[in-house]
Amino acid sequence: MDNIIARTVSSIEERRNRILNGEINCIPTPFECFSEDFSGIQQGKYYLLSAHQKCGKTQLASFMFLFHPILYAYKHQDLISLKIFYYPLEETKERIVLRFMSYLLYTMSNFRIQVSSEDLLSVKEAVNGEILELLKSEEYQNILEFFNQCVEFRESSNPTGCYKDLRKYAEANGKIHKKKISYPDKVTGELVEQEVFDYYEPFNPKEYVLIIYDHLSLITQEQGMDLRQSMNKLSEYMVYLRNTFNYTPIVIHQQSSETQSLDAFKASKIRPTAMGLADSKYTSRD
């Protein structure tokens, strides 16, 4: 049996056995009512979130792909290992940590404590001392330290820089298997043998590697490329990382300003669409 066939059959069997043994094949969705449409975060799947400006794309992405997975992985460390590469082009990493603290306080208190990032920063009045004591408690500090271990904020904002970050991590945390192929030389016609990529084997099969890029229109352009070409290049890299290393890209992509115009509103055409993506439409295809 060909290796690819054998590996595929083996993968089907392994995934079946994981479910039978009470393990998981995805990070379960936080939206139980929508579980038929979104069962959860899978390894090797490309997710794209799109909406108009100031519609809460970052907040939704943070909840679905950062806060919920972190808390789930913390509570189920026997089932899953989590690594998140976050490229925060729109906000600072400190703001993201503050929002996670707000989420943590709300979730851990059974939805009783509602404290915004602004409240934590004592913008209008001093934050309640009990809130500060909670954040300093051992239980909260353990989760915050787990967040710190799982999440890496990266500063690379151009496509090639992101790709190099992630490929370097893949090479350090798995084995790239290669195979030999033969092809005729264009000039002499003689058979030339060459090693090419075959498949990737992670050292930890339970590790979920998530790549959050927020957001695509703020990308730093590659040398010799305009904005659209740079966006397409990043998406091309994300597809490669998904297909080669089984990584999970999450890209936030705004809708164009035309889809928010008065004419679009009158025509009831304000829902996000693939055609409404700003600056490039190709990410929806990827």
The predicted-structure confidence for 247-257, as pLDDT tens digits, reads as follows 999 999 888 87
pLDDT given for residue 120 in this prediction: 94
DSSP letter (8 states) at residue 268: T
Tokens of 277: 């993506």
Q: Which domains does the chain have, with CATH numbers?
A: 24-285 (3.40.50.300)
Find the helix packing angle between 68-75 and 138-150, rounded to 10°: 110
Of residues 197, 203, 213, 282, the one with CA closest to residue 248: 213
The predicted-structure confidence for 130-139, as pLDDT tens digits, reads as follows 999 999 999 9
pLDDT confidence band for 98 (50 / 70 / 90): very high
Counting beta carbons within 10 angstroms of the beta carbon of residue 246, is it exposed (0 to 12), middle (13 to 18) or buried (19 or more)?
buried
From CA 242, how far away is CA 28, in angstroms rounded? 19
pLDDT at 205 over 90: yes
pLDDT confidence band for 52 (50 / 70 / 90): confident
pLDDT given for residue 265 in this prediction: 65
Tokens of 195: 């090693």
**Region 26-37 average pLDDT:** 91
Global pTM?
0.89
pLDDT confidence band for 1 (50 / 70 / 90): very low
pLDDT given for residue 23 in this prediction: 92
Query: How many contiguous H segments (helices) and E segments (strands) does the chain have?
Result: 11, 9
pLDDT at 38 over 50: yes
* pLDDT over 90, % of the chain: 65
From CA 172, how far away is CA 141, in angstroms rounded? 29
**φ, ψ for residue 255, nearest 5 deg:** -80, 155
